[in-house]
Structure 1
Amino acid sequence: MAMIKEIANRYQILSLIGQGGMADVYRAKDKILDRVVAIKVLRSKLSEDPMVLVRFQREASAASRLSHPNVVDIYDVGEYEGMHYIVMEYIRGRTLKQLIMQRGALNFKEALDIMKQLVSAVVAAHQKNIIHRDIKPQNVLIKDDGTIKITDFGIAVASDSVQLTLNNAVMGSAHYLAPETAQGKEPTEQVDIYSLGIVFYELLTGTVPFKGQTPTEIAIQHLRVSMPYVRDFNPGIPQSVENIILKATAKDPEERYAHASDMLYDIEHCRDRDQRGIERLKLKNPSVQDAKTNPSKSKATKEEKEKKHSSKMFGALVGICVALIVCLSSFFVLSLSGVISLSGLFGQYTIPDVIEMSEDQAKETLVEAGFTEDQISIEKKADDSVEVDHVISVSPKEGTKAGQDDSIVLTICKGPTYLIQDYTGQYLSDIQAQFEEEGLHIQINVEERAMPNTNPGYILEQKGLSVGDRIDPDQEVEITFVVAAYPSIEISADWIGQTYEQVYEELNAMGIAVARSGSGSTIVDVSPSVGTTYIQEGSDSYITLYTE
């Protein structure tokens, strides 16, 4: 299949900028209006699938009905020489997911500005009875001027439309999936609100709240595990902001925002004066697990603990009195013998508290306490709790005694640690560039796994370093990424003599593109030839089955 050069005698293809399981996206020039556009072209082998075609047309219909500054504009929709295409606004910039990967947790003020734009776009969609159903940072574009643009209405539905299939209700991305969607319930506006809450959490923490090895594991957590508090991650986030996330991600839709416009109002007013000092939002059903507590059992356990506590109190008091007498006697004896001395006596000095002082201040304080600069040595360490060039710890510890012959080690902060994030769902080349740009010494090991309808280099799994690990940026460590690779297959002689439909279904299930030559149903030949290895490299390659 030759590379597309022009569509509808109007759009000149400039480059391929993206590939998905359903369509390819090109950067093109509109020769009539002299502007650069993006064109999404449905893959030819899928255009014969009525379900896929309906979803593709639904995306065009849903997005074209919206006119909003935070929704990607649709310019044209059509069919040319059997190709179905959507012409849309070309966005120069990056996805919101890429921004989070590069910067980690955002300042809450910046996150509020992003969410205000994103939620306002969803409000506009809901007003047109359009439910997006796949809101995630990968589907949000950021222009160079900071404008947010939501895109990819590929599985959007009108709230009054008929479902395509039984599986249609559980489509979307597992990390942002509303609990009722995981249960197969019919989608409402509130599934988008839940996803918005998860995106808000990710903006403020740099990671998603629920993780797992499979989509099923993640879906179960959405159903049963309480939403983590963003203020536990960063106490500087206002409680009113955390409350927005808690309300948007309530497990029970009745406790969730009823409309996206309600969520937008809270985002716009969460920093008002009357929101200061507000208490944490309490939900009736924060999780399935929380609702399974047995009150009577808890009460009985409490009474037993109180009895045990009372019986132990008397013994503890006696023990404390005896210990005090022993300690006082020992202190008196040791003082007389010279083992214990006041600071400076017998050449023993007390290590002062120098934690969080600058290196120079700490040295000066130690010298004032009776030590010499010659006995002070410095070690550098990455740390997140102390400012750069300030003291993390001292050895011997502060408050203990040391002589002028003893070595004193000051551990100084050389900078922050590096947070290992969840890189699954990203591309290997992006992560390699990110590590290199940030000057990290992380060796990347790569394992390939053949995956149909998945772009090569897409990270499926990470091993070696766990999400949440913090490392010294100068530390030499290893991480292993399992990445998607093009499916490959050996051309089989067994296909000769079988019907086209049998072999087509087998290959199509593996993600292999198939072309047919001839009008018969029995396969008489195949290209490439029998015995060779075929690799499905994108949508421009295919196996040809000759029939008669």
Structure 2
Amino acid sequence: MIDVIGKRYKILFLIGQGGMADVYLAQDLILSREVAIKILRQSLANDPMTLVRFQREASAASKLSHPNVVDIYDVGEADGYHYIVMEYIRGRTLKQLINQRGALDYHEAISIMKQLTSAIAKAHANHIIHRDIKPQNVLVKDDGTAKLTDFGIAIANDAVQLTYYNTVMGSAHYLAPETAQGKEPNEQIDIYSLGIVFYELLTGDVPFRGNTPTEIAIKHLREPLPYPRLFNPQIPQSVENIVIKASAKDVKERYEDAREMLYDLEHCLEAQYLNMPRIQLKHPTIDIIEIKDGAIRTNPIQKEVKPVDPKPNPHSLLLWGAGIVSSCLILCMILLVSGIVRFKGFLGYEEMPDLMHMQKEQAILALQNAHFQTDHIEWKEVVQDDIPAGEIYKTSIKPGSIVKDDAPLIVEISKGPSFMIQDYTGLYLEDVQRDLQQQGVELNMEIEYKGEPNTYPGVILEQSGLEPGDKIDPSAYETIRFVVSEYPTIIIPDTLIGMDVYEAKEYLNGEGIAVNLRKTSSSSSNKVISVTPKPGSSYTQEGTDSVVTLYY
């Protein structure tokens, strides 16, 4: 990575990483302000599809001027790097806010949603569909201002790559049902995502979870949205109605326009709306007829009409049923005692809760509420680029499994993003050490000093152990090796005596040694007759004030 992009933006340090680009904090050398600069990875710059998506993001966001959309300042390509320069927001993502605080007060949730819906209404007015609205793409400033970012779906590790009819879709937890069906996207897919984000703000969690993106997408297709007021009865019905209508599975029942949703957000707390009845939707059931390579094909369920059997003899049915019941009871007892069949709450078996995206304390409480013993848990912290620090992203027991309440359990928690090693050659060691310390990166530095002609001391000449582009755990104390310049030191050779003075000067200069010539007689001979310091002495070239003097 070069130090200055486009002869204007001085790279300070890495602040974020995605599937196709890295985001750096940079200094605008012309306007003297901090900016965020997103730089497409050079390994992807030759991929036409990736480049189009990157340019589409810049094009879409640059068309918008809105207080709740991150401003795009500049777009360009320099020295082989494609970049987008944008407003630098000091704050956190909305996802981080939810993880830290859980469900927000509905007044605060409405305030955030009004900002986001206003931004989306402006985008739709400019014929732009965001297609990846989620809390991870919303930055929240300390004063409560929300800023929407990441226009145009990027190739991200947390994006669902469900493809159907060549449609690329957004993140599974916020995915509109018609997108999973492969239908042509329109503005209403953004409205559905806004509804799910509103649900998460009010309840502290997403409505549907699953082990795979496809499983979550199917739940969006099939399962009705849980009512937010079941989690918090204090939420006014008028507020819950906005969530219900925005996240309706049938687009005919959903808000048709973001401005319509914004109007309801602005008026939902007025007295005449607070106690209105709950909206009743049809919640159509959709039959999944094929799932192949992540693609979902659906049809409405066609219920089969079966012929009515003649009325059976009640006495024979009774005897037959009693025999079946007795046999089943005996079989069930055998299976239960052997452990082949397990029931929640019976013989020490419990249902494993879903701990995904919880903090450690929340997970312990969830396990205790599910009647699990928590002294058998092994907690592992692992670097994860796309999972916020402190958030659970993997468990050794699948959620929903019926297991013993004291079963060994490994829970993996994100330590936050990895750190990408840069090319430090040519930089001053002191500057690199300071920058790494500011970023919280702990490295074991093995330093070898080497005298280097025509080079200031302290410059990194060589780097090994960790190469540019390597991703590491910033707290793992991994080893990096540097060869660092220092003032050159030589032993004054006795072969200088009798050598042509200009040849001797050229030799010493090649070793990085400054030379002063002194003629001692009118003789035409240019032979060196003496040297200061004397031959055999150790001499270090310290700046421009020290010299070796050749007398001839």
TM-score scaled to structure 1, two decimals? 0.57
Structure 2: runs of 5+ lacking an equivalent: 155-162, 288-299, 307-352, 369-373, 401-407, 419-464, 473-552
* 1:99-140 Cα shifts (integer Å, max 9, x gaps): 000010111111101100011000010000000000000000
Alignment of 1:480 with 2:411, yes or no, is: yes
Q: Corresponding residue for 2:149?
A: 151
Separation (CA, whole Å) in 1 of partners of 2:466 and 2:11: 31
Q: Give aligned-pair identity as a percent.
A: 61
The count of residues paired between Structure 1 and Structure 2 equals: 350
Separation (CA, whole Å) in 2 of partners of 1:115 and 1:462: 33
Compute the displacement of 1:534 (Å).
Answer: 10
Contact 2:392 2:411 in 1 (8 A): no
Matches within 5 A, 1:116-155: 116-155=114-153
Contact 1:139 1:151 in 2 (8 A): yes
Separation (CA, whole Å) in 2 of partners of 1:149 and 1:58: 19
Compute the displacement of 1:432 (Å).
Answer: 7.0
Q: Corresponding residue for 1:258?
A: 256
* 1:379-431 Cα shifts (integer Å, max 9, x gaps): xxxxxxxxxxxxxxxxxxxxxxxxxxxxxxxxxxxxxxxxx98544x9xxxx5
Change in Cα spacing, 1:57 to 1:459, as seen in structure 2 (3 Å) is farther
* 1:496-544 Cα shifts (integer Å, max 9, x gaps): xxxxxxxxxxxxxxxxxxxxxxxxxxxxxxxxxxxx99997349xxxxx
Contact 2:104 2:201 in 1 (8 A): yes
Contact 1:210 1:218 in 2 (8 A): yes
3-state DSSP class of the match of 1:131? coil
Separation (CA, whole Å) in 2 of partners of 1:209 and 1:262: 23
Compute the displacement of 1:481 (Å).
Answer: 1.6
Separation (CA, whole Å) in 2 of partners of 1:119 and 1:144: 20
Separation (CA, whole Å) in 1 of partners of 2:85 and 2:11: 12
Change in Cα spacing, 1:465 to 1:155, as seen in structure 2 (3 Å) is closer
Alignment of 1:537 with 2:535, yes or no, is: no
Matches within 5 A, 1:355-504: 423-424=356-357, 445-446=379-380, 460-463=393-396, 480-481=411-412
Q: Corresponding residue for 2:271?
A: 273
Separation (CA, whole Å) in 1 of partners of 2:388 and 2:471: 9
* 1:25-71 Cα shifts (integer Å, max 9, x gaps): 00011011010000000000000000000000000000000000000
Alignment of 1:176 with 2:109, yes or no, is: no
Contact 1:465 1:478 in 2 (8 A): no
The amino acid across from 2:243 in the alignment is I
Separation (CA, whole Å) in 2 of partners of 1:261 and 1:456: 32
The amino acid across from 2:131 in the alignment is R
The amino acid across from 2:394 in the alignment is E
The amino acid across from 1:480 in the alignment is V
Q: Corresponding residue for 1:68?
A: 66
3-state DSSP class of the match of 2:276? coil
Alignment of 1:186 with 2:184, yes or no, is: yes
Deviates more, 1:273-282 or 1:18-27: 273-282
Matches within 5 A, 1:37-56: 37-56=35-54
Separation (CA, whole Å) in 2 of partners of 1:220 and 1:133: 18
Compute the displacement of 1:96 (Å).
Answer: 0.3
Separation (CA, whole Å) in 2 of partners of 1:216 and 1:21: 20
Separation (CA, whole Å) in 2 of partners of 1:110 and 1:24: 31
Change in Cα spacing, 1:433 to 1:139, as seen in structure 2 (3 Å) is farther
Alignment of 1:98 with 2:32, yes or no, is: no
Separation (CA, whole Å) in 2 of partners of 1:537 and 1:127: 43
Change in Cα spacing, 1:446 to 1:4, as seen in structure 2 (3 Å) is farther
Separation (CA, whole Å) in 2 of partners of 1:123 and 1:483: 35
Q: Corresponding residue for 1:245?
A: 243
Contact 1:461 1:483 in 2 (8 A): no
Compute the displacement of 1:167 (Å).
Answer: 6.7
Q: Corresponding residue for 1:24?
A: 22
The amino acid across from 2:178 in the alignment is E
Separation (CA, whole Å) in 2 of partners of 1:31 and 1:446: 43
Q: Corresponding residue for 2:327?
A: none
Q: Corresponding residue for 2:233?
A: 235
3-state DSSP class of the match of 1:113? helix
Change in Cα spacing, 1:479 to 1:105, as seen in structure 2 (3 Å) is farther
Separation (CA, whole Å) in 2 of partners of 1:456 and 1:276: 36
Change in Cα spacing, 1:241 to 1:26, as seen in structure 2 (3 Å) is same
Q: Which has the larger radius of gyration?
A: 2
Separation (CA, whole Å) in 2 of partners of 1:120 and 1:176: 19
Separation (CA, whole Å) in 1 of partners of 2:362 and 2:223: 32
Compute the displacement of 1:460 (Å).
Answer: 4.2
Contact 2:37 2:83 in 1 (8 A): yes
Change in Cα spacing, 1:9 to 1:533, as seen in structure 2 (3 Å) is closer
* 1:253-274 Cα shifts (integer Å, max 9, x gaps): 1111101111111111111222
Q: Corresponding residue for 1:378?
A: none
The amino acid across from 1:70 in the alignment is N
Contact 1:227 1:286 in 2 (8 A): no
Compute the displacement of 1:184 (Å).
Answer: 1.2
Contact 2:11 2:24 in 1 (8 A): yes
Contact 2:355 2:363 in 1 (8 A): no
Contact 2:395 2:412 in 1 (8 A): yes
Separation (CA, whole Å) in 2 of partners of 1:109 and 1:295: 48
Separation (CA, whole Å) in 2 of partners of 1:28 and 1:459: 31
Change in Cα spacing, 1:76 to 1:211, as seen in structure 2 (3 Å) is same
CA RMSD of aligned residues (A): 4.2
Structure 1: runs of 5+ lacking an equivalent: 157-164, 298-419, 468-476, 487-531, 540-548
Separation (CA, whole Å) in 1 of partners of 2:362 and 2:3: 33
Compute the displacement of 1:277 (Å).
Answer: 2.4
3-state DSSP class of the match of 1:130? coil
3-state DSSP class of the match of 1:480? strand
Contact 1:193 1:260 in 2 (8 A): yes
